[in-house]
């Protein structure tokens, strides 16, 4: 059951990620991206990382995709269709991707991963909170604070950039 579910999720992820980059209608590409993100969160659920899956669903599927669709509607007509990409670009992109997949998969299958037999730590909210704000060996308080400042700075920067200034109105 789990195994069938995993292969179904991987099929969803692969098919919809290919559709995301090949679809010629941009709104459809955004919806395909949403399916990819939901499939990814399904994989996190299968690996028993429920908190991560919930974060993936709310932040990615709920936040970023909505932001992308919002900006699409601000900048495109809904029935806008792209022209086909230039043949040189198309062949170049596919060649780069094929070479990359070959090289990475060769390296991965060349390496022997040894699954650990250590007992899995129970990932509940208490453990996550204590480690995220802890200062001992397994503490992540410094990256947590860094990410908070980064988030604040980026959001203020986004507001400042997107604000319509006086110079812009003249153009």
- The whole-angstrom separation of Cα 60 and Cα 118 is 31
Q: Would you count residue 54 as binding another protein (CB under 8 A)?
A: no
- The whole-angstrom separation of Cα 62 and Cα 70 is 12
Number of helices (H) and strands (E), helices first, in the chain? 8, 0
Minimum CB–partner distance for residue 2 and another protein (Å): 5
Say which residues have a Cβ less than 8 Å from residue 17's Cβ, sequence separation at least 6: 32, 36
The residues in 15-34 that bind another protein, with binding defined as CB under 8 A, are 17-18, 20-22, 26, 29-30, 33
Minimum CB–partner distance for residue 107 and another protein (Å): 10
Minimum CB–partner distance for residue 148 and another protein (Å): 9
The residues in 125-154 that bind another protein, with binding defined as CB under 8 A, are 127-128, 131-132, 138, 140, 143, 147, 150-151, 154
The only residue of 28, 92, 129, 133 in contact with another protein, by rule CB under 8 A = 92
Looking at the Cβ atoms of 75 and 135, the one nearer to another protein is 75
Q: Would you count residue 113 as binding another protein (CB under 8 A)?
A: yes
Counting residues that bind another protein (by CB under 8 A) gives 85
Q: Does residue 48 come out as left (phi exceeding 0), alpha (psi in the -120 to 50 range) or beta? A: left
Q: Would you count residue 124 as binding another protein (CB under 8 A)?
A: no
Residue 31: enclosing H or E segment and its boundaries? Answer: helix 26-46
- The whole-angstrom separation of Cα 17 and Cα 11 is 10
Q: Would you count residue 104 as binding another protein (CB under 8 A)?
A: yes
Query: What letter would DSSP give residue 58?
Result: I
Q: Which two tokens mark 50?
A: 């429920």
The only residue of 71, 81, 124, 141 in contact with another protein, by rule CB under 8 A = 71
């Amino acid at each position: 059951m789990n195994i069938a579910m995993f292969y179904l999720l991987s099929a969803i992820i692969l098919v919809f990620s290919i559709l995301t980059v090949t679809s010629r209608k941009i709104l459809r590409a955004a919806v395909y991206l949403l399916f990819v993100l939901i499939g990814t969160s399904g994989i996190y659920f299968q690996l028993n990382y429920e908190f991560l899956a919930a974060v993936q669903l709310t932040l990615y599927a709920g936040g970023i995709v909505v932001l992308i669709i919002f900006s699409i509607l601000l900048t495109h007509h809904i029935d806008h269709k792209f022209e086909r990409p230039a043949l040189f670009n198309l062949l170049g992109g596919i060649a780069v991707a094929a070479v990359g997949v070959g090289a990475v998969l060769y390296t991965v299958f060349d390496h022997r991963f040894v699954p650990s037999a250590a007992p899995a730590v129970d990932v509940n909210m208490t453990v996550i909170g204590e480690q995220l704000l802890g200062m001992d060996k397994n503490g992540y308080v410094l990256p947590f604070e860094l990410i908070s400042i980064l988030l604040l700075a980026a959001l203020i920067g986004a507001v400042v950039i997107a604000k319509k200034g006086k110079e812009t109105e003249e153009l």
